[in-house]
């Protein structure tokens, strides 16, 4: 995290409007593509949450692929995923309150009919739990499988598996996490 922040500071230091260098172009492409991705997901009303979603996808993405460099991925710890999920649900409901006002937000639990009120309240806990457990399970599973493979054949064989479990699965899970969060936010703000 500190490394990433430092990298940001160094890269952002001398930006120019007229003649961007290669580094700046790359950075801009990355940032604008992230922005566009989340703007598409969040819709017109959810633009304020773009930066948070970008932060989370970068955080989870880095956390997941850090296993390549020999660190333990932080998302392997249930506390981290739980924290992220709690923040997500707080943000989702907060966005709902902000967009609709408290009364309407409370009323939205009884929509479309009052009977599903308990289900909607239950969803309040199920959503973060599923987010948390999905991420946690995937990362732990990938981590365990990788450790087993490394134990059996420590040379050469782990490379393709590492590509799949660390890079592909890591990014997929990061994407799924933010995708679901944005979907819920969009649902709330509309």
Residues that bind another protein (CB under 8 A): 1, 4-5, 8-9, 12, 15-18, 20, 24, 27-28, 31-32, 35, 51-52, 54-56, 58-59, 74, 77-80, 82-84, 86-87
Between 31 and 122, CB nearer to another protein: 31
159 burial (CB, 10 Å; 0-12 / 13-18 / 19+) is exposed
CA–CA distance, 55 with 57 (Å, rounded to integer)? 6
Q: C-beta of 83: minimal distance to another protein in Å?
A: 4
Between 8 and 102, CB nearer to another protein: 8
Q: C-beta of 65: minimal distance to another protein in Å?
A: 16
Q: C-beta of 172: minimal distance to another protein in Å?
A: 20
Between 8 and 121, CB nearer to another protein: 8
Q: C-beta of 163: minimal distance to another protein in Å?
A: 26
Distances (CA, A) of 44 to 149, 153, 177: 46, 51, 20
CA–CA distance, 9 with 100 (Å, rounded to integer)? 37
Contact 126, 114 (CB under 8 A): no
Q: C-beta of 92: minimal distance to another protein in Å?
A: 15
Residue 16 Ramachandran class (φ > 0 left, ψ -120 to 50 alpha, else beta): beta
Between 158 and 182, CB nearer to another protein: 182
Q: C-beta of 127: minimal distance to another protein in Å?
A: 17
State residue 77 phi and psi, 5-degree precision. Answer: -85, 125
Between 32 and 130, CB nearer to another protein: 32
Which residue is it, tokens 């992220």? Answer: 84
CB proximity list for 158: less than 8 A, separation 6 or greater:
146, 149, 150
Between 49 and 158, CB nearer to another protein: 49
């Amino acid at each position: 995290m500190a490394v990433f922040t430092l990298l940001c500071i160094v890269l952002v230091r001398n930006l120019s409007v007229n003649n961007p260098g290669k580094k700046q172009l790359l950075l801009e492409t990355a940032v604008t593509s992230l922005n566009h991705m989340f703007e598409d997901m969040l819709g017109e009303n959810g633009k304020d949450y773009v930066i948070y979603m970008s932060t989370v996808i970068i955080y989870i993405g880095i956390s997941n692929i850090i296993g390549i460099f020999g660190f333990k991925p932080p998302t392997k710890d249930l506390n981290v995923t739980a924290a992220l999920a709690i923040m997500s649900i707080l943000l989702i409901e907060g966005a709902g309150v902000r967009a609709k006002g408290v009364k309407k937000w409370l009323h939205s639990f009884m929509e479309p009919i009052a009977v599903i009120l308990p289900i909607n309240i239950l969803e309040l806990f199920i959503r973060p739990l599923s987010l948390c457990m999905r991420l946690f399970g995937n990362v732990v599973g990938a981590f365990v499988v990788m450790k087993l493979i490394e134990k059996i054949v420590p040379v050469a064989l782990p490379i393709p598996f590492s590509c799949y479990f660390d890079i592909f699965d890591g990014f997929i899970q990061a994407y799924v996490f933010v995708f679901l969060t944005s979907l819920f936010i969009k649902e709330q703000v509309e």
